[in-house]
Chains A and B, each alone.
Chain A
């Protein structure tokens, strides 16, 4: 009744409460570029275009809902969300479905869910909550505990095997720990240790994962398998030149030489058709989005919201950097989509939930600390 009495103007204003203009504009621009590129990449598969529009609608709705939830409320979900995610991950390890050789999906009633995806948000939420609770008495042991909270789900995800998600989740948690104030000396020590651990870690990798790393060093060693992806995507990027071949004109994309060209390798299609200038626009958009996120983090009132906002922002960065690095051949091929642009509903939903959380934190920046 109350809503009906509102004038359209006021209704719109009410609806827009909590929506941050710059963030919305940047995300929308990226989404627009994504649709344009998807149209080109999935020219012969019109159903994908429609499906992506549905995904976007769901994404924006999720963003709006998250933007309405105050950080204090969000904090209460931290432990349950993390516990549920961990439980589901254990469930996947025991009874998961195998798709494309990896055990990632879990049947829940009629639908299948991918619990590792949910960890991308649940992990920073949990760790931010943990540090917030111990804010005044932060000690070294707290960093050890948070490290364990991070390591357990990451190992479960890496075992599936899903290296891409494992990297993103550990990055998300790692960012929280970093911003919580892990001492620089420990960070340096971990860096050295990590370098040394690469050798034993190599033995733990799956054959196909090792092949991907080796392929990066010499793509021509495997021209029909994993190397093919890298060879074809670098040709696409390189042949794009400064101005690109023009929309729908990319031969690499249109002749189907680029594999996975609507999902993980969509950047190759974009880069071929819009060239270096297009890439610069994309980099600038991402930089602005990340800048806005870091600003929100810097101005956030509570330890929890600061940590959460900073971590979420840097997840966006990780997505973008890993994906573009992989397509342009400086990082190994791991399954990480290009944020807001790659086709796929799950990743999009996660990203928009993240944007929504940032918006909510921004809106509540002036609230007195509780």
Chain B
């Protein structure tokens, strides 16, 4: 037995050593192949490669293209380039960075801000060839450095193009900003297989149109073939393939309208999206507060970044596409339309509104104590009766409501040409099923349908969705994709490409139903909750106020604005289109924590319409309507 085992071991060892021998032979064969290859290259082909190496005195230097401009619909420049000198360090070629920076500080002014930014860039970019320590040097500073250049190997002055945004924080969420190409950007460029075209380019669009139209704006990188001497210094340029500039982009935005609307907001937070109903062109696109995109251009310093990032006002958040809000009573015109289309209501039938709707032992209160008395469909919109819509929602049921609102694009991305659009929530039993985990939470309760009717409950939409919906209503059911770009100019061949309006679908609504709802909305601005804001307007308009609750109220608690922290106050909303006969503009305004829709959002909308339809410029920022003037209802 032991002997057999020993024999077995010996056999095993023999086989192992045999395989070692085989491996050794394989190694020798592989090395022989390498040797043959080396001999082929270094002996037989040596002359060929020697000549190649000698000719290899041509260095290919990329030339970064000029970035395309961004213009407003009238050709006003919103983003442009200018040339400036930067002082750049090649980190890999510098022995002692701290010391070098300290010594540079004696020649040109280097602030703590610059140092911090340099450190931040150094941390973000791997294998960076060259990073700026100072940007926008004065002529005198350039001269001083040139005289001391020999002391600083690995430091150079470069002429670079910088992006500039003349309008500062105006329209910052539309235009966006550019920043240095970071690892993530680099990865995306490699995925798209365009990394070669970005050799020599340091910046890339990060947000807004700068981001979503990056490939149009960037252009084609050129190359210069430079003959170099034995020391690697350039002697002369042999050939030059110039860079092709990026395309200019003309927006549908009117910067003047944008400015006026942003001024109307003042310091308040919120969003506004104005759309041309029969094309989907966005005329004004506001998310307040904005930010100054110029801060990002040469790499934002950590302090400014922290301020923007940590502000409770969230200035970097694009509320118009990424903010989701309950629509409040601005939902009612769509509910009314749904009622007419489904035959659940006709214009003549009335209900009596005691100031509440009772369901399952619970009272759903109307915002007007005591109610509006006898209410028909027209009046329900004009005075904004909650009771009417509680009942309506209950009669229609969640499936019918949800299906109808889906046709208006609510709770879906509009497809506007910006990145980062939120989806929002179009409530439905299916949505609840997906959203929640626990079975008892997944069930849809009939009581939940009731507050959906007045735009509360789970309803949550982005301002751009609501703007698209109101524009679709204004265009009698023709739904266009909102678009920010009117045309793209190719500077190389002078061609202009128009971005055609894109019809998403025609909702096929009955003309008399649309007519009815539009008429009721006109009533809102004539005799209803919007009347004060639109007093003596020289054009017709159809609007709807809305108030969105930020915090829930208990059953018998009364909403008392003065007792509630500013950030817990209701959001003020207003949707409007004008003129009623032939709408040229439809817009959605929300003022966060602005209180009643009639108070904050409607006056801003009025200013926008006055400018767009009459060319009227407000002489001074409008004062908000005093509190006790606000009409009952919202």
Residues in chain A within 8 A of chain B (CB atoms): 44-47, 98-101, 175, 178-179, 181, 207-208, 224-225, 232, 234-242, 251-252, 254-257, 271, 275-276, 279-280, 283, 286-287, 290-291, 294, 297-298, 303, 306, 310, 314, 317, 321, 324-325, 328-330
Contacts and interface: CB of A to CB of B under 8 A. Distances in A.
A207 B38 contact: no
B283 to A, nearest CB: 40
A306 B50 contact: no
Nearest to A207: B193
B17 interface: yes
Interface of B: 12, 15-17, 19-20, 23-24, 27-28, 30-31, 33-35, 37-39, 41-43, 45-46, 48-50, 52-54, 56-57, 59-60, 92-93, 95, 126, 183-184, 186-187, 190-191, 193, 196, 199, 228, 230, 232
Given A98-B187, A242-B43, A255-B232, A291 B38 contact: no
Contacts, number: 139
Contacts of A45: 92-93
Interface of A is mostly: helix
A298 B12 CA distance: 12
Given A239-B52, A251-B56, A252-B56, A298 B38 contact: no
A242 B27 contact: no
Given A207-B193, A276-B43, A314-B23, A181 B34 contact: no
B50 A238 contact: yes
Contact of A101 (B12, B19, B59, B190): B190
Given A224-B196, A239-B49, A242-B43, A330 B37 contact: yes
Given A208-B190, A255-B56, A325-B34, A238 B20 contact: no
Contacts of A44: 92-93
A225 B196 contact: yes
B183 A99 contact: yes
A294 B199 CA distance: 47
Of the listed residues B53, B199, B228, B232, the one surrounded by the most CB atoms of chain A closer than 10 A to its CB is B53
Ranked nearest first, the 4 interchain pairs of A and B with the lowest CB-CB distance are A238-B49, A239-B53, A238-B41, A239-B49
B56 A294 contact: no
A237 B193 contact: no
Decide if the interface of chain B is mainly helix, strand, loop or mixed: helix
A257 B230 CA distance: 12
B93 A239 contact: no
A303 B57 CA distance: 56
Contact of B95 (A47, A237, A257, A286): A47
B126 A99 contact: yes
A112 to B, nearest CB: 12
Nearest to B186: A101
Given A224-B60, A234-B41, A298-B20, A101 B53 contact: no
Contact of A291 (B24, B30, B50, B190): B24
A321 B232 contact: no
B13 to A, nearest CB: 8
B190 A237 contact: no
Given A255-B228, A283-B34, A238 B28 contact: no
A44 B35 CA distance: 31
A362 to B, nearest CB: 15
A47 B31 CA distance: 34
